[in-house]
Amino acid sequence: MNTRDDIPLFASSPTNIQVDNKGRLRHFLSIEGLKKKVLCDILDTAESFSSVPEQSIKKVPLLRGKTIVNLFFENSTRTRTTFELAAKRLSADVINLNITTSAASKGESLLDTLHNLEAMHSDMFVVRHALSGAAHFIAQHVSPNISVINAGDGQHAHPTQALLDMFTIRRHKGEFGALKVAIVGDILHSRVARSQIQALTTLGTNEVRIIAPKTLIPAHATTLGVHIYHDLKEGLRGVDVVIMLRLQSERMQGALLPSEHEYFHLFGLTEEKLDVAKSDAIVMHPGPINRGVEMDSAVADGVRSVILEQVTHGISVRMAVMSMAMQQGEN
């Protein structure tokens, strides 16, 4: 059995196993089902960690003696680096398991790999996988003393990315109740968009809009509590926050778009199109950016862009999630 055969295609709601009997975070697999208080606690804890990089020694001792294993079955540079940096700033020992050279690539099942890592007294698995439900599957099968953090699974969820986006929005705009937020681009294939929508609605955002061609909007979009637009300028009018998404060509099957040039003409963000948003609107992107396809460089590098701030905040948010998940069992 290989690593793909023993993972369900789409997990059921992981709500029950994400928190302990006192409502505290145990695993972090999805935004779905988590209460607003849990999300706010993560954002507040991340705020308390935001000054750590400014210290002469950029570390706190919270997870000293703990071992965190980064299990990345799917390539990622930025996400894995920020998880690794976050763990090290919490003083944890970090192992980056290279899946392409591990026993899993030689036929060992995922569960055998996990049980071997458990035998090495690991305390947390950070998991990225191409299949939806992978992190949930792992959380169901690990020992009770191990926490699992989802670093992105298939088209299902990317909860830490969503919360670092919420952290960035809150830093610039304060509370969510008066905000209008537009998410633009490849909604259909985006685990980030799914988690962002769940986080924004849980935090009480006044209005969440999704803007995309009809071919890039999921069939169930109307059930997500969002307003749907197919015209970029119409959808951006009067919004406080613009979140652009990466066009995920590697996940597309068939001709969903006429061409990248045509996509940029209709849905690529330019200064001229951004002018219909509020004058103090911020522009975000989870990266990596396809310049000239999703947005113009003048916008990506412009005064309203907070894209690099998102990267910085990702470390604080991941420190918060790791520390909260690891410490809940010690009280």
**pLDDT tens digit string along 98-109?**
676 565 666 677
Signed CA dihedral, 162, 163, 169, 172: sign only: negative
Is the pLDDT at 139 greater than 80? The verdict is yes
Is the pLDDT at 289 greater than 70? The verdict is yes
- Weakest-pLDDT range from 21-35, 123-137, 209-223, 239-253: 239-253
> In this predicted structure, what is the pLDDT of residue 1?
35
pTM (2 decimals)? 0.91
How far apart are alpha carbons 122 and 272 in whole angstroms? 51
Is the pLDDT at 36 greater than 90? The verdict is yes
138-162: burial string, b at 16+ Cβ within 10 Å, e else: bbeebeeebbbbbbbbbbbbbbbbb
Reference 304, options 313, 312, 295; nearest CA is 295
How far apart are alpha carbons 284 and 274 in whole angstroms? 12
> In this predicted structure, what is the pLDDT of residue 321?
98
Amino acid identity, position 321: V
How far apart are alpha carbons 196 and 161 in whole angstroms? 8
90-121: burial string, b at 16+ Cβ within 10 Å, e else: bebebeebebeeeebeeeeebeebbeebbeee
> In this predicted structure, what is the pLDDT of residue 112?
86
Is the pLDDT at 25 greater than 80? The verdict is yes
- Rg for the chain, CA atoms, rounded: 20
Residues 132, 147: contact at Cβ < 8 Å? no
> In this predicted structure, what is the pLDDT of residue 6?
45
